[in-house]
Amino acid sequence: MVKNDQNNSNYIERAEYIKEILRKNSYLYYVEDTPVISDFEYDAYFRELEELEKAHPDLYDENSPTRRVGGEVSEKFEKVTHRVPLKSLKDVFSDEELIEFLSSLKREHPESEFTVEYKIDGLSVSLEYENGRFVRGATRGDGLVGEDVTENIKTIRSIPMTLPDKLPYLCVRGEVYMSKRVFNELNDEREKHGEALLANPRNAAAGSLRLLDSSITAKRKLSCFIFNLQDAEGIAFSSHKETLDYLLSQGFPVIPDVKVFSDEKEIVDRIWEMGDSREKLSFDIDGAVIKINDISLRSLIGELPNVPKWAVAYKYPPEVKPSLLKDIVIQVGRTGVLTPNAVLEPVRLAGTTVSRATLHNMDFIASKDIRIGDTVFVRKAGEIIPEILSVDASKRPVDSVPYIFPSECPVCGGNVSKENDEAAIRCTNPSCPAQLVRNVIHFASRDAMNIEGLGDAVAEQLFTEKLIKDPADLYTLKAEELEKLEGFGSKSAENLLRSVENSRTLCLSRLIYALGIRNIGQKSAKMIAERYKTLDALMHASPEELCTIPDMGEIMALSVYSYFSNEKNKEYIDKLISAGINTKYIDNSEGNSLSGLTFVITGTLPTMSRDEASELITKNGGKVSSSVSKKTSYVVVGEDAGSKLKKAQDLGIKLLSEEELKAMI
């Protein structure tokens, strides 16, 4: 029972006593899962400490348990150069590849032992301690430079702020993740409030750790496993397992169930035992990590520029599970395409519950003979997008019938048609409500006119309430109209109208992309705008002229020409011009230091999105490509880089970090 003795003159001693209770029970609760006091008692101690610290400012301690609820708001994250690089691992995808790796090391070092541990599906971080006190937490970034997320790291209750041993310096590496339970609770809450659901625990953890407001991060209830000792002063170890045991003694949430083996078959068996247990774990894994245990042997074996030679990551193949196909529903997109989607009996795949999957088009359904009532095999392509692989014909109901694609639009009842060169079937009614709503959503998207606050739900609302008929009507909206809508107040209405107003002055390239012309993406819209400079000049361009633009094919040229030849589209553009939309190209180029160079971007960069990095490159005269080839000049590499990095290494193409890219400019 808590005794809040306000007459106790030794408030410092009382505060330290409470801190120790809170730290001990945080560890037992978040790491050991064996709390010894109730939540009520914990909260009572916490409140007492808050009151003591408020009454006695000299008790201020930045690592106090009361400082772990967040509240720090940053304008941006400062850069951190890692004292020891946080390198990635070479991936292996089969038992044969793994055995080849193990055997090659065994031939040179017959007595070598290996640790096998879970590969947590989260975000890699480094944690630094000086004299036993936590001083800094940083994301991995590109391995050399990351972001300072110290305040957000402090909100992770399982990470200790002080250590029993007061070593001059200690740096550990861990993986921040979101547990399956917390992820499901968070999505349930977002669904109740009509917010977009988070894709998977890994993305949720990464996004939460990089929020500028640490109080929001605190509410996300992130967790962390420590899996490596990066650097230490005043202590030395002979093996990796020994370092993990030491870190456990210091109160760190060390990655569980790490085992040591020397036999290759035992290692393979252990990896598949871990893989088979994925469903039972409270956290997501996407593989297993195999490392040489002996630290001195690691130094002897050495490292490559980007990966150590003494460790690999075994990546599990995507999970494939059966599910019942309950229904097929048709969604109508902004260009009128009818896209079939499978409604599935919920099944858990790669960390999330899947209840829908795309069926692409009529040809896809026909080629696999997919029918309502079938048992289908489902996986997540790239661990993200659910897809149907095949049908279990042995479980097909006896009364099953082939699926017949709709002969009319399910939204407006209009005619549908299939062009000879396409697999897609389209609604031919230009006034179809589904197309109009999708057009508005596309028009307002970040890469188009960047109208913040205008998502799917708001677009639907505006149409339902007959406030708009097309995107041009956004520029006639009034605050009093918006404030009458459910979910809108004066502030949200003001914010939306301000964003609409800001979009009037954007570059012509964004407007061309926002028009939603078939076959014209963001990059081709920019090339068109650079070539014609004004919307009027573009509207009078012939297909032959358009074909002279680099990378502009005949189909794209005809799409542009056809769009501007349509009378209804001309009327729509006149409305936009009347609304004061900018129709001229704005040259935002900052120099030509990257002229003649082609870049590919892969992975997550420390401080920029891929779009921002692409824009920076093009502003300075460079070209950005989506694929690596012999013509690629540089590959800009961020965290979790994939196959593009490997291809660049195979082709001998120079790799750049974000910092090195900026240095070139």
Q: Are strands 623-624 and 598-602 parallel, antiparallel or unpaired?
A: parallel
Nearest to 92 by CA among 294, 302, 287, 284: 287
Confirm whether 119 is a catalytic residue.
yes
Q: Are 98 and 314 spatial neighbours (Cβ–Cβ below 8 Å)? A: yes
CA dihedral of residues 467, 470, 474, 476 (deg, nearest 10): -70
DSSP letters spanning 217-275: HHHT--EEEEEEEEEEES---SBHHHHHHHHHHTT--BPS--EEE--HHHHHHHHHHHH
User: What is the C-alpha separation between 549 and 35, in angstroms, rounded?
Assistant: 67
The set of residues, in sequence order, having a beta carbon less than 8 Å from that of 236 and lying 6+ positions away, is none
Q: Is 452 exposed, middle or buried (0-12, 13-18, 19+ CB in 10 A)?
A: middle
First to last CA, the chain: 63
* Helix and strand element counts for the chain (H, E): 24, 22
Q: Which two tokens stand for residue 50?
A: 């808050």
Burial 379-416 (b: 16+ CB within 10 A, else e): bbeebeebbbeebeeeeeeeeeeebebeeebebbebeb
Q: Are 137 and 127 spatial neighbours (Cβ–Cβ below 8 Å)? A: yes
Q: Are 315 and 286 spatial neighbours (Cβ–Cβ below 8 Å)? A: yes
The set of residues, in sequence order, having a beta carbon less than 8 Å from that of 105 and lying 6+ positions away, is 112, 292, 301, 310
Nearest to 304 by CA among 655, 659, 658: 655
Long-range contacts of 385-394 (CB under 8 A, 24+ apart): 385/358, 386/344, 386/349, 386/354, 386/356, 386/357, 386/358, 387/357, 387/358, 388/325, 388/342, 388/357, 388/359, 389/320, 392/322
From the candidates 24, 54, 90, 119, give the one annotated as an active-site residue: 119
> Position 536: which residue type?
D
Alpha-helix residue ranges (DSSP H) falling in 414-534 = 433-444, 456-464, 479-483, 490-502, 508-514, 522-532
Our CA angle for 435, 192, 33, nearest 5°, is 130
Strand partners, 337: 426
DSSP state at residue 586: -
- Quick one: which H or E segment has residue 358? strand 352-358
Query: Catalytic residue numbers?
Result: 119
